[in-house]
Structure formats: structure tokens, C-alpha cells
Amino acid sequence: MGPAEPVSPRDEEPGIASALIHNGEGEYLLHLRDDVPGIREPGCWSLLGGAREPGDRSLEDTVRRELREEAGLDLPSLEPLTAVTGAVDDGSEPAPVRVYAGWWDGDPARLPLTEGVMLRWFRPDDMDRLRMHPATRDLVRRHATGRASVPSGAVRHGAGAVRHIVGVHLCLEDPAGRVLLGLRHHNSAFAPSTWHFLAGHCEQESAVSCLVREAEEEAGLGIDPRDVEFVHALHQLPGPGRRPRLQLVFRARAWTGVPEVREPDKCLGWRWFDPDALPERVVPYTRDALAHVRAGRPYSEEGWE
């Protein structure tokens, strides 16, 4: 349910609640709605939420119920943000909406989505290329401008300490020495239409377990953890206001299966490349990591001063 113009406190009490969910990287969670007639914002990227039901004691109850029902999300904290007039695209009357802000840092692809097409993280600067109501875009940008890049209660563990994101990457080589790369979807919030390692983020699991899981989920490859060896670590500071990342690169000495597209919303295809003839559009740190691996360098840094 996307928002539009702010409503005055004197206006009608909202009967709809939406959630503006953001993470520690300055990204916002958007919901791609079904493109069907008779609903608000068909085929648009919007905010999760919905209408108040008789059993809801408050609008916070409404938004929490909608998050559970639509995406299996149960956030520890939701704070009232603003009241707006709901965007209208179906000819119905504008409706007041109460917007709540919350913090979450998970992988939306792993949520049990029950409505709409998909959930994805987007940075405010990426939203110009999305089909979404202009007022929803404006609300996200106003929130991004007015908040700190890292919510202290969510990610800081001591004075000046910030939790790092741990990424795992598979440097898989075939018998001819070619490396496997995947072409990221053109709607991807990170590196769209660009070749990248098979990769993922650790989720309450070891790095090797994450690698094995991602290989099966993304490409249908079976890897025995005993066949995995560490080859490189890149300690990366992506940019101002973004959380540091520890990018771990592993090699698999053996595997089963043939790479196939298991998550077409993320990856459009897998291909083997000669390391000396990589495509032009490769994620820069992927290219650098490959060079370090080939040179036998186990560690590098990027973005730190």
C-alpha cells in the first residue's frame, strides 16, 4: 500500500497501515504488487501493509498482522512515522494510511511471500527506474534524508563498533580452468546486468554451510563441505553510510550437478569464463578477487583509508 500526500491530524482516522522497512545499508524493502485489475497500484513497487480488520486492536496490530500474513515478518520494533493519503490508481476514493518505520536486515528472497510477486531491497537512488507511485518514492527519500545511516540500537555493539556483513563467494573452476559466473538480473538492486560469483550472505550459519546452501539454491550444485577450501578474504568498505563487508571467497575441489538457473529473479544465466577473457561487465571486486586468488594472495582491502 503506497502513500501519497500527508494528511492533517484533523482528517479521517486512517483505516490502512503500511510499513517502511529499512536496513543498515540505507536500503528499503519494496513489494512488487500483482498486475491485476481492481487493486491499488497494480504492477507497482510499494510498501507492505493493508486494511484494518475487526480483530485489530490498533493500526500497529494491523501492520504487524499484514507483515506476518504477507511475508512472515515479525519485527521487534515499529515506530509511527506519519499519516498519508493512500495512492489511488483504480478509481476508488483516496484513503488515509498510517505509516510505521521498522528496521530489518534479512534476505527478502527467503521470506514466505503470500501476496504479490516479490520483495527486494532498493536504495533510494535506484527507485527512479522502478514503476512505483511518485509519492511512495518521495516518502522513502524524505525518510532516508532524515535518518542516520546505521540505527544504533540495531547494529552497534560498543562505542564506534559496527557489525560487518559477511558474504561468501564460490570461485568454481572447471577442468579447463574456466571460472563460473552468473549474470545478475536487470532489476537487481546490486550490480544489475553484471556478472558475479555465485554468492550469498551468512544467516546464522557458518560460512561454509552458507556456501553449500547457496550453491544448491542458486545453481543446483551439490558440494560436500569437506571439498571446500578458503582462497581469499576481501575486507571492504563499500562507501559512506554503508556497512563494512567481509567478503570470503572459497574454492570447491569437487561438486555434483550442472549449473542451472534456480532463482531467475536473481540470476539470468550461468557461464564458464577464461579468467584472462572475462566479460566487460563484471562486479569490480569479483574481478579483483579473481586476480588475488590466481596470485595466491589470501587477503586484500578496499575502500579503507
| CATH label of the domain that carries residue 42 | 3.90.79.10
Q: Is residue 158 part of a domain?
A: no
How confident is the model at residue 13, as a pLDDT? 64
- Of 123, 153, 183, at which residue does a domain stop? 153
CA 238/CA 128 separation, integer angstroms = 22
- Of 121, 153, 185, at which residue does a domain stop? 153
How confident is the model at residue 3, as a pLDDT? 45
How confident is the model at residue 151, as a pLDDT? 40
Is residue 121 located within the same domain as residue 214? no
Which 3 state secondary structure label does DSSP give 102?
strand
- Of 134, 153, 172, at which residue does a domain stop? 153
How many domains is the chain partitioned into structurally?
A: 2
**Domain range enclosing 50:** 3-153
Is residue 120 located within the same domain as residue 193? no
Q: Is residue 159 part of a domain?
A: no
Flag whether the pTM goes above 0.85. no
Q: Nearest-CA neighbor of 232 among 169, 165, 283? A: 169
How confident is the model at residue 9, as a pLDDT? 39
Spatial neighbors of 46 by CB under 8 A, at least 6 apart, are: 1, 2, 30, 31, 33, 87, 132, 133, 136
Enumerate residue ranges in the chain where pLDDT < 50: 1-11, 88-91, 148-161
Is residue 190 located within the same domain as residue 286? yes
Q: What is the pLDDT of the chain when averaged over all its residues?
A: 85
* Cβ 88 vs Cβ 94: under 8 Å: yes
Is residue 205 located within the same domain as residue 149? no
Q: Is residue 121 part of a domain?
A: yes
CA 225/CA 222 separation, integer angstroms = 10
Is residue 63 located within the same domain as residue 202? no
Is residue 233 located within the same domain as residue 281? yes
* Cβ 123 vs Cβ 27: under 8 Å: yes
> What pLDDT digit, counting tens, does each position of 11-66 carry?
456 788 999 999 878 899 999 998 887 777 888 999 999 999 998 988 999 999 99
The residues facing 19 across adjacent strands are 48, 100
Is residue 8 located within the same domain as residue 144? yes
How confident is the model at residue 93, as a pLDDT? 58
> What pLDDT digit, counting tens, does each position of 96-127 carry?
889 999 888 888 988 999 999 999 999 998 89
Is residue 177 located within the same domain as residue 252? yes
Is residue 113 located within the same domain as residue 67? yes
Is residue 195 located within the same domain as residue 297? yes
